[in-house]
Structure 1
């Protein structure tokens, strides 16, 4: 049978292997139902097969499941897809697992995981020092310094960045116009929906909007990135509202980054550093979400103020957030700048 034919029958081959490895009939039937539904969804919605599916296609399917199934059922079905794609990677029928980023976003939690890889601050400093590419360094430093999600980083627009430097030639949005050296993280962007005239590829899972301080290290990384940032093809009346801060410098030249791209940037360096292994789980691999965990743990321990960390992460509900919003200069910015760790060796 040709390789093309084998790729067309990946679901059938996977189900056969499930049975050969001793899975009971009930489990095999559950996999069959989910994968058959997934296959039909891809064909009807996108005209694709499972081997052609991207991270965005998987997210669309999970989003569809959420409209009719409970949270626990969605998580179970997502785990089935993850195992299926892990199988395709192992047998050479797929180059990567598009469910990796999906599961990472689904499994977020503010609580530290005692089984997670323990990276010390000196080790993280050495890791960051090795990253020379202006875009890649800006991505990693932004994630480590702000604790934002990969999708939130991708959704940042130019007007969400206020740096008092000649590299910034635009007018920042009103929320941060009087707050130089800060980033604005919206709570409005939703996957698949238009925002600022552009259909977004990721959701900002914040309870409320957040103004995040920018320290000298992050400021330097952003300025160096802006100095080489490609021109984009954003035009029209909504340009100022949606032109992305982070855009591609390779295949997707000048286009807004996606969480999938961010994940692969981090994976590239983590793998080279021995912090990422194919098949390794959240307890072992360093990913964009690990940086969020690193930020949470270190800043919470340094400040002793869980509320400020929750505010910066976007986890604080409306009945608490006003304390930090109204006293942003003293309570948040000053505390942050006093305690945020340095990433310089």
Structure 2
């Protein structure tokens, strides 16, 4: 157990301590009353051995993830899902604050809330595709541009708009031939990070970025540096070897090789690429829903599911997806970039 400094609070009544701090922070009486009602109810659950899964009385600072999950479970049937989510957020904030001030050593609600907010498995009937099945699919995608787009979606978990927004400056590849032909990886965030892709968090549709008005927005909570493994690098290098000169000064990574020759691929174009190949493979049907049709969004689901199951590390997967803020990242390691690459390269699936 970590040693506490003399200035670290160690209240006999943690809930009361937190509620008092809410007052000091200027929270209204109504807000404080809501927190008090929920937190005291949780506290009562913990101290009742007949309800607590541990079979004993547990203080809030000693509660585990399982204790918190059990309490959330008791709310179901009596409350709407939105109410349960609100109660969980109250408990999460309580533990987060008490951990931050040093009164508690950890936040057992962190993973509980993460599970509740997980968005990839909303429909249990969604088509499930194995890595072997996806390999067969991508083997049929032979055009260098289309193959590079499909690989980028599948191996990074990026949204379709984020792939559309990539410029050459966002991609740093350790390949002498393409580096001689293109100015790659000129983002300062990529300095010293070969074989990486920078995904910005602030790109907005209609905004002029790097000299070009964008047709898509990035929906990340924070900027992300995604590793590029050997397989994705080879596919990107093959594409760059035949990439037409871009019409935009922003130098998009992916540009059209058809009617809009040299123009940035739009999200609609990328969706059409995926739909065309999915339809030919029997994975897309007009009128089919999300549980049946394979789309770029499904690729994000595939990436999340398989990498999460392989790593067992939801934090890193959420970082790669752009779903997590820097304060959560700090709970893992100060050397986050190397940690991400190490786990990613050890666990990312091969598609060819």
Q: Same fold (TM over 0.5)?
A: yes
Normalising by the residue count of structure 1, what TM-score does the alignment of the two structures yield?
Answer: 0.65
**How far 1:171 sits from its partner (Å)?**
4.5
Task: Indicate the residue corresponding to 2:317 in structure 1.
Answer: 309
Task: Indicate the residue corresponding to 1:167 in structure 2.
Answer: 178
User: Which whole-Å CA distance do the structure 2 matches of 1:247 and 1:130 have between them?
Assistant: 21
**How far 1:324 sits from its partner (Å)?**
6.4
> Whose radius of gyration is greater, 1 or 2?
2
**How far 1:326 sits from its partner (Å)?**
4.3
**How far 1:232 sits from its partner (Å)?**
1.4
Task: Indicate the residue corresponding to 2:195 in structure 1.
Answer: 181
Which structure has the higher relative contact order (CA within 8 Å, separation 6+)?
1
**Is residue 211 of structure 1 aligned with residue 225 of structure 2?**
yes
Task: Indicate the residue corresponding to 2:276 in structure 1.
Answer: 268
> Residue 187 of structure 1 contacts residue 207 of structure 1 at CA under 8 Å; is this kept in 2?
yes
User: Which whole-Å CA distance do the structure 1 matches of 2:157 and 2:333 have between them?
Assistant: 18
**How far 1:321 sits from its partner (Å)?**
3.0
- Which of these residues, 200, 204, 215, is aligned with residue 201 of structure 1? 215
> Residue 112 of structure 1 contacts residue 293 of structure 1 at CA under 8 Å; is this kept in 2?
no
> Residue 170 of structure 2 contacts residue 184 of structure 2 at CA under 8 Å; is this kept in 1?
no
Deviation string for 1:260-295 (max 9, x for gaps)? 000000001000000000000111000000000000
User: Which whole-Å CA distance do the structure 2 matches of 1:325 and 1:149 have between them?
Assistant: 26
**Secondary structure of 1:167's aligned partner:** helix
**Secondary structure of 1:245's aligned partner:** coil
User: Which whole-Å CA distance do the structure 2 matches of 1:185 and 1:301 have between them?
Assistant: 24
**How far 1:111 sits from its partner (Å)?**
3.9
Aligned CA distance change for structure 1 residues 276 and 201 (closer, same or farther; 3 Å): same
**Is residue 129 of structure 1 aligned with residue 142 of structure 2?**
no
The structure richer in helix per residue is 1
Deviation string for 1:136-188 (max 9, x for gaps)? 00000010000000100000010000001121331421111210001000001
Deviation string for 1:87-121 (max 9, x for gaps)? xxxxxxxxxxxxxxxxxxxxx93445311111111
User: Which whole-Å CA distance do the structure 1 matches of 2:305 and 2:297 have between them?
Assistant: 12
Q: Which runs of 5+ in 1 are unaligned?
A: 1-107
Structure 1 moving runs of 4+ over 6 Å = none
Superposed CA RMSD: 1.6
**Secondary structure of 2:201's aligned partner:** coil
Normalising by the residue count of structure 2, what TM-score does the alignment of the two structures yield?
Answer: 0.63
Task: Count the aligned residue pairs.
Answer: 231
**Secondary structure of 1:257's aligned partner:** coil
**How far 1:257 sits from its partner (Å)?**
0.6
**Secondary structure of 1:332's aligned partner:** helix
